[in-house]
Amino acid sequence: MSIPLRRGLALLLLAANTTWAADVEVLHYWTSGGEARSAAELKKTLQAKGVNWKDFAVAGGAGENAATALKARVIAGNPPTAAQVKGPAIQEWGREGVLANIDAVAQAEKWDSLLPPAIASIMKYKGSYVAAPINVHRVNWLWVNPAVLKKVGAKAPANFDEFFAAADKIKAAGLVAVAHGGQPWQDATLFESVALGIGGPEFYKKALVQLDPAALSGPQMLKTFETLGRIKTYIDRDAPGRDWNLATAMVINGKAGMQFMGDWAKGEFTAAGKKPGADFLCLPAPGTDKAFSFNVDSLLMFKVKDAKSQQVLASSLMSPEFQEQFNLNKGSIPVRAGVPKTRFDACALQSMLDMEAASKGGSFVPSLAHNMAVGSATQGAMMDVIARFMSTNLAPKDAVAALAKAARTR
Ligand code: GAL
């Protein structure tokens, strides 16, 4: 999907927005229980600064529907103040000439010294800040209900052998071993954690970030699809179309034992009053304890008339108080330096340590499923293949060939 915009759109945009009010309209897709608590925090922060929040929520995990709604609004010459857009898509929007430059805020607040350089550069278009980052989500997690493990006599899995041993016991007890929703982005979330666990970070980077044809067609990719095929047999038949938070609810209420999902799932556990270690476990996905696949949420700023309110929004997003409370609710960790760690739980502290170690060790890798690794056209084509593998009887070797071909899409 490239972004189909007409020439001269930037001028049209400037002309179209005529009313002034201390309002910000923010397009996001934070609609589950834990996510809504996080969005409410942003609304509260802005209202305390005299800025009114116009909610533009578009339901649909990982923002597939939100991206479509955003294109329609920009093409109509009426963009929101900001939208949740991440990774390489920020550059795609930059090329359309519709973004606001927020360097004035970023320089005054020294964002360059507060953000990891790799993340700061994702937020910039041609050297200027156009987006504000809020958090770091880790994608390669396995969420586990320890009461289910206990009931079936299984132990918390650290590798694929232990994972399949636990899954067999959970399935034999008549429960769902792997809670999953059959939607392309959830399929891709599972796929990338398996690829990271099977092939390791070097393979992951070569295949899913650099799109190296040899890695994409090699034995580790075959083993990734074979493992994925095996995991499929532990997913219940009602999975197609199920929302991710409903899959998490199955783990919360003990209908299922485990779920592969990023740590926005933790927001669901905590919103339900559950405690890490006691009511749920956050384990690195099998074989990925040394790696960290990252997903940074950011709000992308569009050219709008009310630049003042937009700057208040940008500044609020990067404030330590906001990043603390938002991330406590969201399940992620702050992206900027200088946020106190004292109120974060064991999963978040683990994430902070693992992020530091992975950054030093070259195993901090961008998430494919969550728009961090490749451009949107390539990502869409690759996710189509993964979803087809999950929902049909496509053989692993045919999936490997199809994925390698899809990776050439630009
Ligand atoms: C991710 C996003 C998270 C969360 C999740 C489910 O892509 O970064 O903030 O919303 O999708 O929608």
Per-residue pLDDT tens, the chain, 410 aa: give them: 444 454 444 434 444 444 445 899 999 999 999 999 999 999 999 999 999 999 999 999 999 999 999 999 999 999 999 999 999 999 999 999 999 999 999 999 999 999 999 999 999 999 999 999 999 999 999 999 999 999 999 999 999 999 999 999 999 999 999 999 999 999 999 999 999 999 999 999 999 999 999 999 999 999 999 999 999 999 999 999 999 999 999 999 999 999 999 999 999 999 999 999 999 999 999 999 999 999 999 999 999 999 999 999 999 999 999 999 999 999 999 999 999 999 999 999 999 999 999 999 999 999 999 999 999 999 999 999 999 999 999 999 999 999 999 999 99
- Amino acid, single-letter form, for residue 82: A
Residue whose C-alpha is closest to residue 116's, from 101, 131, 133, 138: 133
Is the Cβ atom of 266 under 6 angstroms away from ligand 1? no
Q: Give me the pLDDT at residue 22, please.
A: 84
Q: Give me the pLDDT at residue 7, please.
A: 41
Q: Give me the pLDDT at residue 121, please.
A: 97
* Integer Cα distance of 125 and 173 in angstroms: 53
- 284 φ/ψ angles, rounded to the nearest 5 degrees: -55, 140
Is the Cβ atom of 30 under 6 angstroms away from ligand 1? yes
Q: Give me the pLDDT at residue 21, please.
A: 56
Quote the ligand 1 centre to 62 CA distance (angstroms). 5
Q: Which CA distances in Å does 34 have to 27, 39, 46, 91, 377?
A: 17, 9, 19, 29, 30
Q: Give 62-84 as a DSSP string.
A: GGHHHHHHHHHHHHTT---SEEE
Quote the ligand 1 centre to 8 CA distance (angstroms). 32
What distance, in Å, lies between the first and last C-alpha atoms of the chain? 9
SS in 3 state form for 41-52? HHHHHHHHCCCE
Q: Which CA distances in Å does 406 have to 49, 193, 212, 380, 383?
A: 47, 19, 12, 9, 9
Residue whose C-alpha is closest to residue 387's, from 64, 30, 84: 64
Could you tell me which CATH class the domain 3-136+296-344 is placed in?
alpha beta
Is the Cβ atom of 370 under 6 angstroms away from ligand 1? yes
Model confidence pTM above 0.85: yes
Quote the ligand 1 centre to 15 CA distance (angstroms). 33
- Amino acid, single-letter form, for residue 294: F
**CATH 3.40.190.10-classified regions of the chain:** 3-136+296-344, 141-294+352-406
Q: Give me the pLDDT at residue 66, please.
A: 97
Is the Cβ atom of 137 under 6 angstroms away from ligand 1? yes
Which residues lie below 8 Å from residue 61, measured CB to CB, with a gap of 6+? 29, 181, 183, 185, 186, 243, 244, 245
* Integer Cα distance of 63 and 185 in angstroms: 9
Atom index in ligand 1 nearest the CA of residue 295 equals 8
Choice from 139, 264, 300, 372 to test ligand 1 binding pocket (greatest atom count within 8 A of CB): 264
- Tell me which residue has tokens 């493992």: 227
CATH fold, domain 141-294+352-406, is D-Maltodextrin-Binding Protein; domain 2 (3.40.190)
- Amino acid, single-letter form, for residue 2: S
Q: Give me the pLDDT at residue 314, please.
A: 98
* Integer Cα distance of 352 and 222 in angstroms: 32
Atom index in ligand 1 nearest the CA of residue 61 equals 12
Dihedral angle, C-alpha 347, 352, 358, 359, nearest 10 °: 160
* Integer Cα distance of 121 and 129 in angstroms: 8
Quote the ligand 1 centre to 335 CA distance (angstroms). 15
> CA neighbours within 13 Å on the CB side: how many for 73?
22
Which residues lie below 8 Å from residue 79, measured CB to CB, with a gap of 6+? 13, 70, 73, 98, 302, 303, 304
* Integer Cα distance of 318 and 314 in angstroms: 7
| Helices and strands (H and E) in the chain: how many | 19, 15
The residue count of the chain comes to 410
Q: Which CA distances in Å does 278 have to 32, 33, 151, 175, 259?
A: 23, 21, 15, 20, 17
Q: Give me the pLDDT at residue 158, please.
A: 95
Is the Cβ atom of 35 under 6 angstroms away from ligand 1? yes
Q: Give me the pLDDT at residue 168, please.
A: 98
